[in-house]
Amino acid sequence: MTSSSKTEERTSTELVLTEEIPASAVQGATSAGNLLPHEIAFGFFLMITWLRLAIGLGPANVFSLVFFASLLGAFAVWQWAEQNPTPLRWRLRLLYYPVVMGITFYALGGAIPALGLPKVDVPLLNLDRALLGETPAVSYQAWSQPWLNDTLMLGYLFFFVHLVAVPGVYCVQDLARFRQCIVGLFTVYGIGFLSYTLLPAGGPHRWMEFQVPLHGPLVIPATLAMVNSGSNGVDVFPSLHFAVSFYLLIFDWWHARSRFWICLVPCIALWCSTVLLRFHYFVDLIGGLAVALIGLWIAARFARRATAAP
């Protein structure tokens, strides 16, 4: 049986988790005028959220204007890049989404409470208790150690290095691969942010009271308050810390195997920290895994379709 035949027999899940796609697969992936998958996914989040805000708070409300401007910006940068798709314009088109992601993330912190949407911490906590008996943050209190808390926080902070470094390397070294990475990554963000608007929750550190405060010799006292204040207050389900880091890790498994091994242990520490340091419920990670797999499937499908195109 040929290698091509073996590939065709894989299930979609196996393909997402194991397939290595050649660099040529993402060349010429779109024709002029076509939106990329992440532009549709994240644009849908922007459009739906803007409509809800415009109807609920009025079109002149500051949050409505933020989302309307973000949507217009996405359309403008797409048109600008399509008119003359140079490498520079392609990079700027793709880099628009990290920028607008940051803007809308913090805007959600005011927009969702303004809409009066109730938080769903109780159902998420009840799901944890149904699955595990108790949410991990509570169980961890009995055996937490200051040095372990510091180690876990280092893992949590690794997320921000991982998020910038992995797409950044692809951006500099391989535009085609960078495009494929962004296609899946911001599909993940589009779905995740839309979920924040539908199922807002604050997380254990905002909603629950704990008998034992988190202590650490160095990292916890220097960073915990800053990290907690950096949340927008609705960013719990799904866990994008898990979804994004898992997505980037598997993407590196496909295309940068040596970096995968470098990032594996810090990512495991990151995943543990999300629940043990009281940022997330365990079910948030399950939701994050589902969203990450969708993003990986979209990225792989995007590359396969480009390969099959004339």
What's the pLDDT score for residue 309?
A: 55
Q: What average pLDDT score do residues 119-133 get?
A: 96
What's the mean pLDDT when you consider all of the chain?
Answer: 89
Per residue in 223-252, pLDDT (tens digit) is 999 998 889 999 999 999 999 999 999 999
What's the pLDDT score for residue 11?
A: 39
Q: Is the pLDDT of residue 12 over 50?
A: no
What's the pLDDT score for residue 308?
A: 61
Q: What average pLDDT score do residues 206-225 get?
A: 92
Confidence of residue 121 (pLDDT cuts 50, 70, 90): very high
Q: Taking the mean position of all CA atoms in its chain, how far away is CA 250?
A: 13
Q: How far apart are the first and last CA of the chain?
A: 25
Q: Is the pLDDT of residue 293 over 70?
A: yes
Per residue in 274-284, pLDDT (tens digit) is 999 999 999 99
Output b/e per residue, 215-251; b: 16+ Cβ within 10 A.
ebeebbeebbeebeeebbbbbbbbbbbbbbbbbbbbb
Q: Are 291 and 140 a contacting pair, CB within 8 Å?
A: no
Q: Which two tokens stand for residue 226?
A: 């800053």
Confidence of residue 82 (pLDDT cuts 50, 70, 90): very high
